[in-house]
């Protein structure tokens, strides 16, 4: 009875697909909720800093919050694609990594004056981190360009 084994595998596969869908929906809800809470908190932080005349000193913190929200939005998009396509697409992950790397570069450069005051070892460590982040950003951008070029090429047809 080869049909019974194949039918049982199909039922199990459908069950796993259902569980996967439930997990993706749950993750999406949690990510969306976290992004909305961070967005509301960021808006409150912006208005308080603007009203208190502290915006120039708090702009780095605000930028960090905005980039975190953007990362969550990209992860949410990845979850949406995974739910719709039932496949992992590498491009959104690369975008999230790129945003994270740029976010860290911005934070390090914004804290540059503090690093100089902490001494030469802290400064050297920060410069090494910036060098590694720069290499990572170049690699991520190259990967994204290669992926987009590959997707833009038409598929070969057989005659």
Domain ranges in the chain are: 11-87, 89-152
* Residue range 80-99, pLDDT digits in tens: 888 888 777 788 889 889 99
Q: Which residues of 14-50 are buried (b: 16+ CB within 10 A; e: fewer)?
A: eeeeeeeeeebeebbeebeeebeebeeebeebbeebe
Distance CA 58, CA 51 (A): 12
What's the mean per-residue pLDDT of the chain?
87
pTM value is: 0.72
Mean pLDDT over 104-112 rounds to: 86
The C-alpha atoms of residue 110 and residue 65 are separated, in whole angstroms, by: 14
In this prediction, residue 36 has a pLDDT band, given cuts at 50, 70 and 90, of very high
SS (H, E, C) 38-68: HHHHHHHHHHHHHHCCCHHHHHHHHHHHHHH
The whole-number pLDDT of residue 152 equals 67
- Alpha-carbon dihedral 128, 131, 134, 136, rounded to 10 degrees: -70
């Amino acid at each position: 009875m080869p049909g019974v084994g194949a039918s049982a595998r199909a039922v199990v596969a459908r069950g796993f697909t259902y569980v996967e869908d439930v997990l993706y929906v749950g993750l999406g809800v949690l990510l969306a909720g976290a992004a909305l809470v961070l967005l509301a908190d960021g808006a409150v932080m912006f208005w308080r800093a603007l009203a208190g005349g502290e915006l120039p000193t708090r702009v780095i913190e605000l930028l960090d919050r905005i980039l975190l929200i953007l990362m969550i939005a990209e992860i949410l998009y990845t979850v949406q694609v995974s739910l719709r396509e039932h496949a992992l697409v590498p491009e959104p992950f690369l975008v999230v990594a790129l945003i994270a790397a740029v976010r860290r570069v911005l934070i390090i450069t914004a804290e540059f004056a503090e690093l100089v005051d902490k001494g030469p070892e802290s400064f050297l460590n920060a410069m090494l981190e910036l060098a590694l982040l720069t290499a990572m950003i170049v690699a991520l951008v190259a990967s994204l360009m290669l992926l987009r070029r590959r997707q833009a090429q038409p598929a070969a047809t057989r005659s």
